[in-house]
Structure 1
Amino acid sequence: MKIYFKIGLFFLLLPIHSQDIGFSNLLKEVYPDKNEFNYPKNYKVNTARNSYSDVNIIIKTKVGDIIDFNAFSKTLNNIQFNNVKDVPIEENTGLDSRTEQFKGLINPHVIRRAPFRVFEILKPVHNNITAETKYSLLNLKIYIPEKIDSGNHFVNLSFRIGSKTFDLKLKVNVYDYVIPKLSESNFFYTNWFNLGKMEEYHGVERWTNEWYIMLDKYAKVMAEGRQNCIIIPGELIYLNDGEFQLDEQKMISFINIFRKYGFKYFESPHLLNRGANDDWGNPELKTRLKKVGYYSDEGKNEIASIINKIRDFTEKYNLKNQWLQHIADEPTSINAQCYVDVAKQIKEIYPEIKIMEATNTRDSLGDAIDIWCPIINDFQENLDFFREREKKGEKILVYTCLVPGGKWLNRTLDMEKLRQVYFGWGGSKYNTLGYLHWGLNQYKADPFKQSVVKHPSPAASSNNYLPAGDTHVIYPGKNGPLSSLRFEAHRIGAEDYEMLESLKIKNSKIHKKLINKIFKSYTDYSLNINKYLRVKKKLLKSLNT
């Protein structure tokens, strides 16, 4: 009897391993080590047409388990499973910028205290995955075509872990509204693309056939994320034997890759910068090619030669309304006069050209800019100034980078993904054109292994680090780029913007009422995902009648 008791006790003391599977909203943060979930087996999403319906599936099991799955739908054909991979967050975003160590202040507006890991990268898979952590996460991405019946569509999902099976059911309620195709999109959206990093991670040589194939894959992923603007490679405007050149054939071949997917805008490379040492205290900008001060004869000649070539190129290829001209990134009050003088010279040569810039100053730039791009905190805190610029026919979009932190909207990895969605809602509320970020794939370290990196500027202090994920929002996969949950959240926000703008035309009173339910400013918004989903359903219904 005693022996039987000991054997029974032994088995009772063995760790009991539980398995479970359930739906989770794409915007909800999920961790590989611990989560609190109810694991719902039935889920409903509401969607427009020419859009993607997204949902995540969280799986709790033991490391090493093989998880088999499949999906079946009578009416939805384009169904993609993604294995969501986790990444590290080594430090939290700072209360005002960078990371917390920059000023030593704790930022309470983060999803979790660092260090931790969070699910982020979308890697396409087919029928099974192997659990690498206590929790696994699958993403289900379903394309909803323009021509599909309104109403409910169903996806039946089956899972097997060893001898245990699970059945899940997804209901997709399709509304009448059609998201405009990218070539007709209204929300301006750009992430600056680093060709060198694409080449480094995929082993392709510039301007070869293999390179163009890979470039096409990147253009496709960007377009699926609603990015509709791309920056032109700087090397296509160059100095050769003392003469300024524009490589027409390579430039139009590059542009045509993106045109194929509906890109609307093409950003020129910057003409000037702060010099080799990134000198923020110098009032005179330096030219990019000859690296001389603008006010020298050589400097002014460089600008004139390049703008003349850009004018001829854009006129020849019908790009006058799509070309956006950068002068120098983030002009300040110190170098603003130089910036204004460059702009005057450019407009004398090419009056129709649109000058666009991420700005760090306002009044001192005068009438130099056609499309302003202030940091969101600068925009919100100086709203009257930018409203006055709009009265002059100028456009406004916003950007973020390592600034701002705290409760401001941004897209760092320790922020809620609803913040990325709300860039679209903020654009519709404030009548701004869209959003710019410097980091599509500007990796400073292996993005799979490191998310927080040292600020690359030579002038950066030892405690100056870029916040988690600031350098990138897509990842280099084995055969091409991989999207991320943050990139998909941005897409959702861009699609929401299109619906909100349509409602603004149809019924501005309801438009204003719906926005104010969840978004009041770039620091005052609801983080309740269910509340957001309820308001979005009302938005879809308002456009359905």
Structure 2
Amino acid sequence: MSHTLTFETRLLSSLSKVFADEELSQASYDRGSSFGNETYSFQVAYRSNRLLKNIRVHLQSELSHRITVRSVGLVPSEMPTYHDHDEFILRATPGLYPDPLLPLASVPVITGCPNQWRSLWITVQPDGEIKGGTYEIRIRFETESGESLGEEVFTLEVIPATLPDQTLIHTEWFHADCLANYYEVGIFSERHWTLIDQFMQTAAQHGINMILTPVFTPPLDTEVGGERPTVQLVDVEVSEDGQYAFGFDKLDRWADLCDSNGIQYLEFSHLFTQWGARHAPKIMADVNGKPEKLFGWETDATGEAYHAFIRQFIPALTGWIESRGLEQRCYFHVSDEPSESHLEAYGHASRLMNELLPDYPIIDALSDISFYEQGLVKRPIPGSNHIEPFLDQQVTPLWTYYCCSQYKEVSNRFFNLPSARNRIIGIQLYKFNIEGFLHWGYNFWNSQYSKRAIDPFKVTDADCGFPSGDAFVVYPGEEGPIESIRLKVFQEGLQDLRALQLLETQIGREAVLQALEEGLEEPITFKTYPRDPEWLLSKRQWINDKIRESLAVK
């Protein structure tokens, strides 16, 4: 048996997932194009036939100052999927899955584990500072002593044009308590504010332009009767005559961070509990100089005490909104994911909110159209697998969401799903003129129902609560957020959406839709769409070429 060293490399698109224990199935992918304000990613896979430490990685390119090279880390998944999953998956077995994008040391070195494919993730961010043109990106691998192991050259064309600003409203629920838990810092300590700032910045860089804002501790994913740590931005003081005074200093600081990070929309946390709107969120107050819990699971949401509170709180909050000129940037929630059995309780809460907030949008994730038909929700957010009745009734404006329940047919981003199934959402959002997209898990690093805090590098399925990849798209790194493959690929879907909007200004919407579906056996819907990553890549290249042609004509 030969003991000579062999070292293999292959260029891959961002839509490949490289598993350590299987052969590469994707063809080499060595060229692409992007616009001057677009983030572009590709991968270099590598494999050594024996253990090889301290492999040096050299990047050579005119663009090197705009390029980051990261290692695709592996994390465990004990529950990658449900028992009755569909067939559009990569695998259903527990094991190690590629997901976090780990920064390399200042001198980039990697390890070749024997006979395991691994990959580097290369991201180019022109940020409008690169001239149009074609650039080579050379990645070279060397041994510690400087001998060449191999190299790959990727060719990127930067098109001298920019994508339009994102119009889609996009929220991934931001869990401020999880930051404090993981990093072991006091809630709203200076260190906590720094972390909030860093994680907001990463969100904004990836097209998340709306942030869940915890005016009170969000009543989300909490066991009935259980509590999450208090992350309440509004201070409440109770006077002796039962009147309330509200302090907005922390909310001011939060809004300032949103502004400085370019986040356009504030999404105020739900004012009634999840799955039924029957109780109040946890609300802490200063009563005679001492902190006390005013409301929570023991509070009847339809009771006089809570109604009296809400009737004082909402005018104070809208007064704050108006004082800052945020009227066009604020959204409210009643309760998350009510179902038919909750119509009565939700109706009570909804009527109160609509009475107090006639001029503000109220949005809620739900999938039963009767809530809309009865006028209880004017801006419903149906799950992507329940959206057809809302499309049929031409509900506008229309949003959509997905979470763990949307695991058959539709787009999603679990670890075990192909990245093409993640990215296709951009084309679907474009075709159906969707105004907003919501997801509940930006950084939910808890078990299901928040019974305990978890380490997301070790537990990726919320203690077998949801398929791995549902609960978060960022990891907590020592220096701040660590991005995931899934966050990057979803961002590519959002960039596809903007590219389609740009093309529409040149050839018209009808022509764009026709071109998208050319040669397909059936029209694109949320459940039927091309599944081949090659289709997505070549369609995006076609869009870019078409835009470039129009620019040349002008």
With structure 1 as the length reference, what TM-score do the two structures score?
Answer: 0.86
Give, in angstroms, the shift of residue 155 of structure 1.
1.8
Query: Structure 2 unaligned runs (5+)?
Result: 217-231, 284-294, 448-453
Partners of 1:237 and 1:38 in 2: CA distance = 51
Question: In the alignment, which residue of structure 1 is the partner of 2:272?
Answer: 272
Q: Is the 8 A contact 1:237 1:306 kept in 2?
A: no
Which range moved further: 428-437 or 338-347? 338-347
* Partner deviation per Cα, 1:405-464 (whole Å, 9 max, x = no partner): 122211111111112212211111111113111111112232212222347xxxxxxxxx
**Aligned CA distance change for structure 1 residues 270 and 198 (closer, same or farther; 3 Å):** same
Give, in angstroms, the shift of residue 60 of structure 1.
0.2
**Aligned CA distance change for structure 1 residues 466 and 22 (closer, same or farther; 3 Å):** same
411, 414, 428: which one aligns with 1:412 = 414
* Partner deviation per Cα, 1:319-370 (whole Å, 9 max, x = no partner): 1111100111112222224333433333333321110111132223433334
**Aligned CA distance change for structure 1 residues 372 and 501 (closer, same or farther; 3 Å):** farther
Question: In the alignment, which residue of structure 2 is the partner of 1:492?
Answer: 492
348, 370, 391: which one aligns with 2:355 = 348
Which range moved further: 313-322 or 302-311? 302-311
* Partner deviation per Cα, 1:141-176 (whole Å, 9 max, x = no partner): 111232432231222222113534322212111123
Q: Is the 8 A contact 2:54 2:143 kept in 1?
A: yes
User: Where in structure 2 are the equivalents of 1:83-94 lying within 5 Å?
Assistant: 83-93=71-81
Amino acid at match of 2:139: L
Secondary structure of the structure 2 residue equivalent to 1:330: coil
Q: Is the 8 A contact 2:88 2:418 kept in 1?
A: no
**Aligned CA distance change for structure 1 residues 106 and 273 (closer, same or farther; 3 Å):** closer
Secondary structure of the structure 2 residue equivalent to 1:335: helix
Partners of 1:90 and 1:514 in 2: CA distance = 41
* Partner deviation per Cα, 1:19-61 (whole Å, 9 max, x = no partner): 1112111111110122225885x81111112111211111101
82, 98, 101: which one aligns with 1:122 = 101
User: Where in structure 2 are the equivalents of 1:320-339 lying within 5 Å?
Assistant: 320-339=327-346
* Partner deviation per Cα, 1:248-277 (whole Å, 9 max, x = no partner): 111121122122121111110110115xxx
Q: Is the 8 A contact 1:429 1:515 kept in 2?
A: no
User: Where in structure 2 are the equivalents of 1:70-85 lying within 5 Å?
Assistant: 70-75=58-63, 77-85=65-73
Which range moved further: 334-343 or 472-481? 334-343
Q: Please say if 1:427 is aligned against 2:429.
A: yes
Question: In the alignment, which residue of structure 1 is the partner of 2:539?
Answer: 535
Secondary structure of the structure 1 residue equivalent to 2:55: strand
230, 233, 237: which one aligns with 1:236 = 233
Question: In the alignment, which residue of structure 2 is the partner of 1:512?
Answer: 513
Amino acid at match of 1:161: T
Q: Is the 8 A contact 2:85 2:407 kept in 1?
A: no
Partners of 1:409 and 1:49 in 2: CA distance = 28
120, 124, 139: which one aligns with 2:121 = 139
Give, in angstroms, the shift of residue 381 of structure 1.
5.0
Q: Please say if 1:212 is aligned against 2:193.
A: yes
Question: In the alignment, which residue of structure 2 is the partner of 1:155?
Answer: 137
Amino acid at match of 2:386: D
**Aligned CA distance change for structure 1 residues 502 and 187 (closer, same or farther; 3 Å):** same
Q: Is the 8 A contact 1:20 1:39 kept in 2?
A: no
Q: Is the 8 A contact 1:265 1:323 kept in 2?
A: yes
Identity of aligned residues (%): 19
Amino acid at match of 1:176: P
Question: In the alignment, which residue of structure 2 is the partner of 1:5?
Answer: none
Question: In the alignment, which residue of structure 1 is the partner of 2:157?
Answer: 173
Partners of 1:537 and 1:131 in 2: CA distance = 33
Question: In the alignment, which residue of structure 1 is the partner of 2:44?
Answer: 57
Give, in angstroms, the shift of residue 299 of structure 1.
2.6
Question: In the alignment, which residue of structure 1 is the partner of 2:326?
Answer: 319
Give, in angstroms, the shift of residue 132 of structure 1.
4.9
Q: Is the 8 A contact 2:16 2:26 kept in 1?
A: no
Q: Is the 8 A contact 2:369 2:390 kept in 1?
A: no
Task: Spell out structure 1 runs of 4+ moving beyond 6 A.
Answer: none
Q: Is the 8 A contact 1:79 1:141 kept in 2?
A: yes
Query: Structure 1 unaligned runs (5+)?
Result: 1-12, 94-98, 456-464
User: Where in structure 2 are the equivalents of 1:357-436 lying within 5 Å?
Assistant: 357-365=364-372, 366-380=374-388, 382-385=390-393, 387=394, 389-390=395-396, 395-436=397-438
Q: Is the 8 A contact 1:89 1:414 kept in 2?
A: no
Secondary structure of the structure 1 residue equivalent to 2:31: strand
Question: In the alignment, which residue of structure 2 is the partner of 1:256?
Answer: 256
Amino acid at match of 2:74: D
Partners of 2:526 and 2:429 in 1: CA distance = 10
Secondary structure of the structure 2 residue equivalent to 1:189: strand
273, 276, 285: which one aligns with 2:278 = 285
Give, in angstroms, the shift of residue 383 of structure 1.
2.4
Partners of 2:370 and 2:482 in 1: CA distance = 41
RMSD: 2.3
202, 217, 224: which one aligns with 1:221 = 202
Partners of 1:474 and 1:36 in 2: CA distance = 26
Partners of 1:470 and 1:537 in 2: CA distance = 30
Partners of 1:106 and 1:530 in 2: CA distance = 24
Give, in angstroms, the shift of residue 106 of structure 1.
5.4
522, 528, 541: which one aligns with 1:524 = 528
Amino acid at match of 1:448: F
Amino acid at match of 1:286: H
Partners of 2:85 and 2:354 in 1: CA distance = 47
Question: In the alignment, which residue of structure 2 is the partner of 1:460?
Answer: none
Question: In the alignment, which residue of structure 1 is the partner of 2:16?
Answer: 28
Partners of 1:336 and 1:220 in 2: CA distance = 38
**Aligned CA distance change for structure 1 residues 238 and 403 (closer, same or farther; 3 Å):** farther
* Partner deviation per Cα, 1:345-402 (whole Å, 9 max, x = no partner): 33333321110111132223433334321100110354213x1x32xxxx21111111
Amino acid at match of 2:77: I
Partners of 2:12 and 2:423 in 1: CA distance = 17
* Partner deviation per Cα, 1:211-270 (whole Å, 9 max, x = no partner): 222222111211121111101122124544365454311112112212212111111011
Partners of 1:308 and 1:149 in 2: CA distance = 51
Q: Is the 8 A contact 1:39 1:58 kept in 2?
A: no
* Partner deviation per Cα, 1:473-512 (whole Å, 9 max, x = no partner): 1111112110000000110011111121232343213210
Partners of 1:361 and 1:302 in 2: CA distance = 29
Q: Is the 8 A contact 2:32 2:541 kept in 1?
A: no
With structure 2 as the length reference, what TM-score do the two structures score?
Answer: 0.84
**Aligned CA distance change for structure 1 residues 350 and 538 (closer, same or farther; 3 Å):** same
Partners of 2:51 and 2:176 in 1: CA distance = 37
Q: Is the 8 A contact 2:270 2:333 kept in 1?
A: yes
**Aligned CA distance change for structure 1 residues 64 and 255 (closer, same or farther; 3 Å):** farther
**Aligned CA distance change for structure 1 residues 193 and 132 (closer, same or farther; 3 Å):** farther
Amino acid at match of 1:400: Y
Q: Please say if 1:475 is aligned against 2:475.
A: yes
Partners of 1:263 and 1:446 in 2: CA distance = 27
